[in-house]
Amino acid sequence: MEKLRVGIIFGGMSSEKEVSLNSGRNVYDNMDRELYEPVPIFMDSGGLLWELPWQLISQNTTTDVSERLAEEARRVAYEELKEKIDFAFISLHGKYGDDGCIQGLMELLCIPYTGPGVLASALGMDKHLQQKVLEAEGLAVPRSVVIHERDWGARREDVKKEVVDAFGFPLVTKPLREGSSVGVKINRSLEDLECGVTEAFRWDNSILIEEFLEGIEFSSIVLDGDDGEPVALGLTEIHPQSEFYTYDDKYMPGRCRKFTPPKNISREDSQRIKAEVLRAYKALRFRCYGRIDGFFLRDGRVLVTDPNSSSGMAPSSFFFEQAAEVGMLPSMIITRLIEIALRVHRDKKGPL
Ligand SMILES: Nc1ncnc2c1ncn2[C@@H]1O[C@H](COP(=O)(O)OP(=O)(O)O)[C@@H](O)[C@H]1O
Ligand SMILES: [Mg+2]
């Protein structure tokens, strides 16, 4: 029998391309060769696709890969992708990666792919709109205001007064559409706030200023079940060693304490959190899988702060940690994800 050719798409155009390189390589390394033929497809910083030979997959950075593309890799035009792969395992993160862009391209090419469709991916990326949808479904989210660059230019003093009056310090500033904590700052004074806002605007034209949450941060991977009902794979309690869960805490080994299952959250509260996680997953129309992050506050409230329509897949990621907790090896959960995605795409009417 012909094996399914699974294109692993990684690299990309976002601030998270190095994270994506790590994810993609790990998925490539762990894919079950008995079942699938993995095809590594690198997206360069201009959005062009390349089929990589093995020696480029193991490069440390996307710059190392990019420098050798012209000599050693094969360009794959978008319309050629369909001849190369039967399925896309999307290991891209961030803008153009899990925000609906690549998903739209896959739909046009009729290639089934991991993760949700265009709309849900875009919602998973937009930190303002996702809060609106979650709120409308009765879920608790942090209080925040969205600020567009032109408003900041025109009414900066008013805006500062409004947010400080409403939420008090500390205040969290973040770009509307980023991930991996890129552009996120905790601000404890008006001076900080100026810097935090400026930093966030480096990454997007709209930003959020959010109330600061005190409690235990959590993360939960969700998979679509066989009957289509989503299931929370596990729950991890996160104790960053920095002021908050920064890029370094996320990706540098030994920079963060994690407990799966949680150590300081009771079984009962964990069940309550998982129920909220599943409500958020459904509210945003996530499909196939996702990762829902939030805070368990001191007063017992559960707030969803960061629903993600995909997950990092480095060896130390929540994805593999929570899979291991239920006895699944990386190869097994990767197979599971492909099976779920194939089913979801088989059943769809029009784009996912
Ligand atoms: N309102 C908040 N209160 C306290 N910490 C926050 C808040 N929002 C974000 N953080 C911290 O910043 C990190 C990154 O923010 P998040 O909104 O999850 O963005 P990203 O999509 O980049 O992961 C979180 O993991 C958390 O540690
Ligand atoms: Mg987050």
pLDDT tens digits along 107-164: 999 999 999 999 999 999 999 999 999 999 999 999 999 999 999 989 999 999 999 9
Domain boundary among 211, 242, 264: 211
Between the two ends of the chain, the Cα-to-Cα distance in Å is: 28
Report if residue 331 sits inside a domain: yes
Instruction: Indicate whether 254 pLDDT > 90.
Output: no
Domain boundary among 172, 189, 211: 211
Residues 131 and 280 reside in one and the same domain:
yes
Domain count, the chain: 3
Distance (Å, whole) CA 38 – CA 4: 8
Tell me if 10 sits within 8 A of 43, measured CB to CB.
Answer: yes
Residues 254 and 299 reside in one and the same domain:
yes
Which residue's CA is minimally distant from atom 10 of ligand 1?
A: 244
Residues 206 and 227 reside in one and the same domain:
no
Tell me if 184 CB under 6 Å of ligand 1: yes
Residues 132 and 278 reside in one and the same domain:
yes
**Residue 329's domain is classified under what CATH number?**
3.30.470.20
Band of pLDDT at residue 328, cut at 50, 70 and 90: very high
Residues 92 and 207 reside in one and the same domain:
no
Among residues 240, 233, 244, 238, the alpha carbon closest in space to that of 259 is found at 238
Residues 202 and 250 reside in one and the same domain:
no
Task: Note the pTM of the prediction, 2 decimals.
Answer: 0.97
Tell me if 172 CB under 6 Å of ligand 1: yes
Nearest-ligand number for the alpha carbon of 183 = 1
Distance (Å, whole) CA 238 – CA 258: 5
Ligand 2 centroid, distance to 179 Cα (angstroms): 6
Report if residue 119 sits inside a domain: no
Mean pLDDT of 219-226: 96
Instruction: Indicate whether 20 pLDDT > 90.
Output: yes
Domain span at residue 72 reads 4-113
Q: Residues with Cβ < 8 Å from 167, sequence gap 6 or more?
A: 143, 209, 210, 211, 212
Residues 133 and 152 reside in one and the same domain:
no
Tell me if 310 CB under 6 Å of ligand 1: no
Instruction: Indicate whether 347 pLDDT > 90.
Output: yes
Residues 69 and 17 reside in one and the same domain:
yes
Tell me if 126 CB under 6 Å of ligand 1: no
Instruction: Indicate whether 1 pLDDT > 90.
Output: no
Tell me if 293 CB under 6 Å of ligand 1: yes
